[in-house]
A and B are shown apart, each in its own frame.
Chain A
Amino acid sequence: EPEVTQTPSHQVTQMGQEVILRCVPISNHLYFYWYRQILGQKVEFLVSFYNNEISEKSEIFDDQFSVERPDGSNFTLKIRSTKLEDSAMYFCAGGGQGITGELFFGEGSRLTVL
């Protein structure tokens, strides 16, 4: 069964460093998302991506964040200058063209900012 894969599974970085989280969505999906989950808190929407551009973003997704799909397969989330409060689990998700709304999630990338 196809699945969403994310790398790295865990990354530790120093505050102020740039981080890139990578995702390989299911091939026939058209919509891609990044969510984050700070430890002990709810899963929060960051951004959605469709047709090679951002379709929706939350207030969390400020200028420090960017997304791209450079090669038609990988979907990346970049944090330019990490802050302590960026420490979280980041989930990539994908969805198809149908209007069922179901998203398929990866297992997440845990980011720890020191």
Chain B
Amino acid sequence: AQSVTQLGSHVSVSEGALVLLRCNYSSSVPPYLFWYVQYPNQGLQLLLKYTTGATLVKGINGFEAEFKKSETSFHLTKPSAHMSDAAEYFCAVSENQAGTALIFGKGTTLSVSS
């Protein structure tokens, strides 16, 4: 069975500081990995995804994540936080075939202070 662990339910950074949100996964097959963002009272929006190929993937709003198989990790980073980045971030994993469900982590709330 697949699972996702997000370390830290709440991360606080200052505007302009590095953002690092941690995600570790467990999967018996090569995984597809995703980061979704949820702004207040909104649905889930895809930030970025890893399927195959390059292990460093870039997403929207300046975010990127690196798939590290040896560490079973897919941490999300952004060099410089902006106030608008404050939101809930979810890491998710799925099997690499069409139609399989995404399994989400518990989420990390990112707060950005000025």
Tell me the A residues contacting B by CB distance below 8 Å: 4, 30-31, 33, 35, 41-45, 48, 50, 55-56, 58, 91, 93, 95-108
The 8 A CB mask of B40-67 against A (1 = contact, 0 = none) is 0011111001010000000000000000
Known: A101-B34, A102-B34. A108 touches B100 (CB 8 A): no
Residue of B96, B99, B103 near A31 (CB, 8 A) is: B99
Q: How large is the interface on B (under 10, 10 to 19, 20 to 34, 35 or more residues)?
A: 20 to 34
Chain A residues with CB under 8 Å of B96's CB are: 99, 101
Interface of B is mostly: loop
Taking a contact as CB atoms under 8 Å apart, the answer to whether B90 and A43 are in contact is yes
CB-based contact B105/A50 at 8 Å: no
What residues of chain A lie closer than 8 Å to B104, measured between beta carbons?
A: 35, 42-45
Nearest residue (CB) in B for A58 is: B101
Q: Which residue from B36, B49, B98 sits with its C-beta under 8 Å from A97?
A: B98
Check if A105 sits within 8 Å of B99, measured CB to CB. Answer: no
Extra A-B contacts (9), CB below 8 Å, given A56-B100, A106-B43: A33-B101, A43-B104, A45-B101, A50-B99, A56-B101, A99-B96, A101-B32, A101-B100, A105-B36
In the complex, A20→B94 CA distance in Å?
28
A106 to B104, CA, bound (A): 16
CA distance in complex: A95, B46 (Å): 12
* Sampled A-B contacts (9; CB under 8 Å): A33-B102, A35-B104, A42-B107, A91-B44, A93-B44, A98-B98, A99-B51, A101-B102, A102-B46
Nearest-neighbour CB distance to chain B for A72, whole angstroms, equals 18
How far apart sit A106 and B46, CA to CA, in the bound complex (Å)? 12
Which chain A residue has the least Cβ–Cβ distance from B101? Answer: A45
Given A42-B106, A43-B90, check contact A99 B97 (CB 8 Å). Answer: yes
Interchain nearest-CB distance for A46 vs B (Å): 9
A29 to chain B, nearest CB (A): 11
